[in-house]
Amino acid sequence: TSDFLFPFLSGLCAMSARHVRRAEAPRAEGPRVAVVGTGPAALMCVRELAKLVRSDQPKALQGARISLCTSRGKLATQMGPRNQTLPVPGKPFFDYGCQYFTACDPWFAAEVEHWASIGACQPLGEGEVGAWSPESGFRPLVGDRCWVGNGGMGPMLSRLIEQTVKEFDGIVEHVSGFPQEDWKVVSLARGGAGWELGTKGGGKLGPFDVVVGGFAQHCLTDPFLKTGDEACARMLRCLRRVESNQIIPIQVSFEGDPLPMPFTAAHVYSEEALSWICDNTKKPQQGGKLGTPGAQHLTLLSTARFAEREFNCNPKGYRRSAEEQMFAALARVLGVGSLAAHVPRVNRINHWEDGLAMKMPPDSRGCLLDVEVGLGWCGDFCVAPGVQGAALSGRAMAETLAAYLQGPSEFDARGLLPADDEWVAIDRNELKTSLVDIGAFSGRLGLRSASTHTDLVPSAVGGYNNAAHYGAAGKGKDGGSPHSGGKGKGVGKSQGKGQGKGQGKSQGKGKWRGQGYY
């Protein structure tokens, strides 16, 4: 066991078995691959690579060892923010960005059936998800299944990661940066022996022949890849081509009379501020039982146009505007004159600065790879935004690495690092999905495509910068984030402290009580 583990964990001698699952026995020496990421792209890359290793095809993967390095207790940025409260079994919960997913690709559909067989997810009942418009009211979506994680998207992926590590014991090890962030991977460097990853606690992992990233938000990729200096320069330049929309999510519970909402969720059309509403208490619990007793817990997602305008033109007051206009839209959709009798209590109003990918590489091969240094990247931006696109990209990354490791000198690298090419609109994806502000979904649902992304995003192309993070108005006077510096009204974690003094993106004390517009 030590022959397998210790080269990867130098400097982490005190790491407990809770944070790294040790293999039962050493394997023959083979390629060493590290996959960094917490979402479906990283997970499916690991799963597909491990399947190839176990099958001993191709021969170049014999004895390969794979390290999955995760950094959050929830899912990736689309699934849940870093500081969101962990779901508790049997208690109401909020899903954050990823609300549901579809599986119109045959391979992915089979994977999802496997996920369901181990209790990780299940489809909502037919007609529970629909589309709402002023002309037609609520219209159920039929023709394909709408899948959700049991207990939320976070617990779903946690279960899948745990199951993957057990299934491929001896091939896959899991280095978890949660709950002890000392094990979180924060840097990488390439030397004579290969790649070495650095952890927040000062430890080292490696060496690795190949490193793969499974996330694409500029606020994460830029600082991470900059630690790798020149070896990461080409990949960094390529990832700065990623263009995403922006979304404002609101998490709100209703403590009074139940809202007249006979469905679970709806895509909203013809409302300027609101694109999605979902009652999370109608989703299944972690044990699979449908519904959670207690107050209704809703997730509201704005349109991209509204979020991009409000945040970039009004970075200190976007929460006030979001609550006012998104709540008014919710009342119109549900036919409620006032929300006051339902006693809304805001849990969080955030700004999703890198939301859904809007452009993809031209002639995309489903992933990126710098063959000169052995640095790969995968994510839904290579296929289509959402869980299915991320999973397909992870699979493409695994297959590309398998071919690359057979003989880098003969490997066809065309199209794998399009840093200088013009990227194309992602709605041209081959899956023929319907693209809306919150993702791409099966075209069989009959969902009308409606992307409202604008050119108001300062960092749409070009990587992470202050304008992307703090809004066009820049940083607060004292160095605090204007995310929490306005005269907003939020409650608890979504309050502002005023004058740019808030801590982080969504903390503070402020005067905003979040109860003024209903």
Task: Return the minimum-mean-pLDDT range out of 32-36, 282-286, 294-298, 305-309.
Answer: 282-286
User: What is the tens place of the pLDDT at every residue in 446-494?
Assistant: 999 999 999 776 544 444 444 444 444 433 333 333 333 333 333 333 3
User: What is the tens place of the pLDDT at every residue in 241-269?
Assistant: 999 999 999 999 999 999 999 999 999 99
Q: Nearest 5°: phi and psi at 296? A: -65, 130
Q: What is the dihedral of CA 317, 321, 327, 328, to 10 degrees?
A: 160
pLDDT at 153 over 50: yes
The first and second tokens of residue 304, run together, are 């991209």
Task: Return the minimum-mean-pLDDT range out of 8-22, 191-205, 363-377, 433-447.
Answer: 8-22
pLDDT for the residue 39: 93
User: Under a CB-based contact definition with an 8 Å cutoff, are residues 279 and 291 in contact?
Assistant: no
> With the C-alpha atoms ordered 350, 353, 358, 362, is the resulting torsion angle positive or negative?
negative
Mean pLDDT of all residues in 487-508: 34
Give the residue among 49, 428, 413 at the shortest CA–CA distance from 214.
49
pLDDT for the residue 90: 60
CA distance 215 to 204: 21
User: Under a CB-based contact definition with an 8 Å cutoff, are residues 350 and 490 in contact?
Assistant: no
Strand-strand pairing, 194-199 and 344-349? unpaired
CA distance 9 to 150: 33
pLDDT for the residue 429: 65
Task: Return the minimum-mean-pLDDT range out of 85-94, 197-206, 476-485.
Answer: 476-485
| DSSP H or E stretch at residue 158 | helix 153-167
User: Under a CB-based contact definition with an 8 Å cutoff, are residues 294 and 324 in contact?
Assistant: no
Alpha helices (H) along 204-359: 218-226, 233-239, 304-313, 318-334
> With the C-alpha atoms ordered 443, 444, 449, 451, is the resulting torsion angle positive or negative?
negative
pLDDT for the residue 353: 85
pLDDT at 339 over 90: yes
pLDDT at 418 over 60: yes
Name the more confident of 229 and 9.
Answer: 229
Look up the pTM and report it. 0.84
pLDDT for the residue 207: 97
Mean pLDDT of all residues in 170-182: 90
- 70 forms beta bridges with 176
pLDDT level of residue 500 (50, 70, 90 thresholds): very low
pLDDT for the residue 86: 56
The first and second tokens of residue 151, run together, are 């207990």
Number of helices and strands (H, E) in the chain?
10, 22
pLDDT at 94 over 80: no
pLDDT for the residue 57: 81
What the chain holds in terms of domains, given with CATH numbers, is: 2-81+154-243+360-430 (3.50.50.60)
Name the more confident of 153 and 54.
Answer: 54
Strands (E), 62-221: 65-70, 121-123, 129-133, 137-140, 147-149, 172-176, 185-191, 194-199, 204-208, 210-213
Q: What is the residue-wise DSSP string for 135-151?
A: TTEEEE--SS--EEETT
Starting at the edge strand found earlier in the chain, the sheet holding 344-349 runs 137-140, 129-133, 265-268, 274-279, 296-302, 249-254, 344-349
The mean pLDDT of the chain is 82
User: Under a CB-based contact definition with an 8 Å cutoff, are residues 312 and 458 in contact?
Assistant: yes
pLDDT at 349 over 70: yes
- 129 forms beta bridges with 265
Task: Return the minimum-mean-pLDDT range out of 216-230, 387-401, 488-502.
Answer: 488-502
CA distance 297 to 281: 6
The first and second tokens of residue 469, run together, are 């993070």
Distances in Å between the alpha carbon of 2 and those of 5, 6, 8, 405?
5, 6, 10, 25
